[in-house]
Structure 1
Amino acid sequence: MKKLYALVIMAGIFLSVALFFTVMPFIFLGHPLPFFSIYNKDIYDHETVIEILDSDNESVFKKAYELTPQELISEPKPSWLLLRLSFPPGDKEEYTVKVISDSNMTKSLRVELQLWNNAHIELYGDDAESPITIGIDTI
């Protein structure tokens, strides 16, 4: 009986420590950032397709958006990605963010995503070299 009691206590301590280290980043850093955000800084509407490719160049996300002037859209990270990035805490994965705007302008960027960073996309921002800018926001 004492062995069973000791085993239960050890399992409880182990689970408490594991839970502590899993929850701790969320306590200090808050909710994870979105998968990506896209902001249309132009005065015209733009049809934009966002595609996210994994490290094997397989599409894991693809969606079209119709952005009005000055519109900001954020897409939350999918549940499967939140789980992948949560264990172990601080884990990151490499993805390619591909943006196609108005069916004729394309830009892509390889990024290392983790829970507290996201790809930030601007259409017709302050960058004079390209109408599409992709960057990373990190907490």
Structure 2
Amino acid sequence: MRFKILAAVMSILLGIVVFSAYSGSSNESTQDDKEIIQKIEINNSSFFELSKDWDGFETVTIDIDKLRKAADKGNVTIKVMGECFNIEIQEKSRLEGENAYFYTGRITGSKEGRSDLYVEGEYLGGSVEPGEPWNVTYNIVHTDERYNGKVVHIIFVQDWEKQRERLEKMGIDPLHFFLINSDSRNHLMSIEIFDFNNRSVFKESYTINPGDTISSPKINAELGQYRYEILLDNKFTFEQRVQADYAADVSSSETLYIYVNDDPEIPITFGIDVS
């Protein structure tokens, strides 16, 4: 379960894929023109676990020094899944005090194509979205394994159309909210939810005792943003927006937590949970 604190500073995290590399004599490698990415051919796929959201993948090692030098000069060419892309770097920055670099650029020859790359030490993470006519996203993640002394990375592709079809089969996750009374008094709370067309889709009033938690029913929704309007004790009005999303493994509709506080200056606070 992932919990988002409102108004918190967002940090960038790169996930580590659990992976065991086969280092026998049947492995082969091929390099791109710049020798930045070296593909590792692994004949036995039982050594790692595939995700059902991947529409293809390859295992590679990456020459981080050559990638950084090319990116610092303004252009980097990388070969992913048999496709060669030139990235014109438009923005670059370094995390102060760290050996970490961010590069953002456009894909040459594509109006909408872009790439975001994050380099930290020996690790590379990020994505390449070439736009039309490819209509895919190539994602790059590092593993905790090494091959010939270099960190093994995985490049996996997600086809936009196939991903849309998968999500549509899952359906939209219903909206859900909780009322939590941390005050020492009873309170009357009225909740009304409006959709993206400002139509009311839910309206209910609750009396909540000190220390109690009230769970709402599941509220059917369509894909989009919804606005909660909360009236406390017929005096104070508060608003909060949440996103209704597909019932996927890695994301779903946001659940709203409404806390009644023992604080006259901040009587209501919110939390949002994505499970």
Question: If the length of structure 1 is used for normalisation, what is the TM-score?
Answer: 0.63
RMSD of aligned alpha carbons: 2.7
Secondary structure of 2:210 counterpart = coil
Deviation at 1:76, TM superposition (A): 2.6
Query: Match of 1:67?
Result: 208
Q: State whether structure 2 residue 262 is matched by structure 1 residue 121.
A: no
Q: In the aligned structure 2, how far is the partner of 1:34 from the partner of 1:112?
A: 9
- Within 5 Å, which residues of 2 pair with 1:1-139? 22=169, 35-78=176-219, 80-81=220-221, 84=222, 92-114=223-245, 115=247, 116=252, 117-124=254-261, 129-139=265-275
**Counterpart in the other structure of 2:138:** none
Q: CA deviation at 1:135?
A: 2.4
Alignment check: 8 A CA contact 1:34 1:74 kept: no
* Contact 2:191–2:231 under 8 Å retained in 1: yes
Q: In the alignment, residue 211 of structure 2 is paired with which amino acid?
A: Q
For 2:193 and 2:217, the matched residues in 1 are separated by 13
Q: CA deviation at 1:22?
A: 3.8
Structure 1: tracts of 5 or more residues without a match: 1-17, 26-31, 85-91
CA distance in 1, matches of 2:180, 2:267: 12
- Say which structure, 1 or 2, has more relative contact order (CA 8 Å, 6+ apart): 1
Higher helix fraction: Structure 1 or Structure 2? 1
Alignment identity in percent? 32
Q: How many residues are treated as equivalent by the alignment?
A: 104
Pick the structure with more strand per residue. Answer: 2
**One-letter amino acid matched to 1:119:** L
Residue 129 (structure 1) shift: 4.7
Q: TM-score, normalised by structure 2?
A: 0.34
4+ residue stretches of structure 1 with deviation over 6 A? Answer: none
